[in-house]
Homo-oligomer: A and B are copies of this chain.
């Protein structure tokens, strides 16, 4: 029902425990790019079905705490579950509101969404990757203007997204250090794909420095202009925005700088991304006047648990706004409660996936 939202049906949300965070909302922009189906490019790569279903499952985990569509629990290398588990644990612990923005999901999620893109992104090695980048940005801006929370944490889920982010950063002439959902970042492969992408669009690095939406159209994915649009719309109505994520959020910051946004920008990510030398957050932060908050969920305290083991081994790292959500939890002094909740969310997901 519109007035209550889909999560009223079956969400298991806890009542908010902390008044300070009650007016923070978590917005997650979900989408698909055919770039994510390239063998070896992401934790979901090499398996076209996973590249389609991972962002769908992520939206279901975020809003309902369960996987409801045909997809099962997305699991990366080492059995590391999707960071949606972390975000959902924060949502349940603090009672955060959520909104899912559908920026070109290739399959239907079992949750309410606000659509801003009419199709998925093409492989960036085609001439045009996101034909309607400008329309997506405009629709997302309207979503951002309509948000009623005082503060919004915005995250993303799009397999292949660090590669498209790298391509956009390169087209804009920005530093292209990016992280990975894999323990060993396939940097060489990404560089090859990005070089092919720029060549297919007939552009050299930095050629589109002043034209961020043209860069997205040529070599991006539909999630990037959607996140940028929501941020632009939200800040225009004095909503505080936290970019929840790693290097993809740096690409969003680059888009916003190119669009003339000069206000300070803040991003919040996990300690796993910060520990990833290939991400080089400091360099991206300096280049883009982007301040980073880094939160360590200290999952090791869960002991011999699949979530702890997976993240400790460098898989997953970030996504679905996890870093931003954890920053909010840390601010509320609720990280220990979030860790306990991670166990419950994971247990519930493991049950529903095997049934």
Residues of A within 8 A of B (CB): 1-11, 13, 25, 63, 68-69, 97-100, 102, 105-118, 139, 142-143, 146-149
What are 27 A-B contacts defined by CB distance under 8 Å? Answer: A1-B25, A1-B149, A2-B5, A2-B7, A2-B63, A2-B97, A2-B98, A2-B111, A2-B112, A3-B5, A3-B8, A3-B11, A3-B98, A4-B148, A8-B148, A68-B142, A105-B115, A108-B115, A108-B117, A108-B118, A108-B139, A109-B115, A110-B114, A111-B114, A113-B113, A113-B114, A113-B115
Q: Beyond the given A1-B5, A2-B97, A10-B146, could you list 14 further A-B residue pairs with CB under 8 A, ordered by the A residue number? A: A2-B5, A2-B63, A2-B98, A2-B99, A2-B100, A3-B11, A6-B114, A9-B147, A9-B148, A102-B108, A108-B118, A109-B115, A112-B112, A113-B114
Q: Count this chain's copies in the assembly.
A: 2
Which residues on B sit within 8 Å (CB–CB) of A107? Answer: 118
Shortest Cβ distance from residue A90 to the other chain B in the assembled complex, whole angstroms: 14
- In whole angstroms, how far apart are the Cα atoms of A108 and B25 in the complex? 23
* Chain B residue, CB-CB nearest to A68: B142
Contacts of A116 in B (CB 8 A): 108
Question: Which chain B residues lie closer than 8 Å to A4 at the CB level?
Answer: 3-5, 97, 148
Per CB-CB distance, the 10 closest pairs between chain A and chain B, nearest first, are: A1-B97, A108-B115, A5-B5, A2-B5, A9-B146, A2-B98, A2-B7, A112-B112, A3-B5, A3-B97
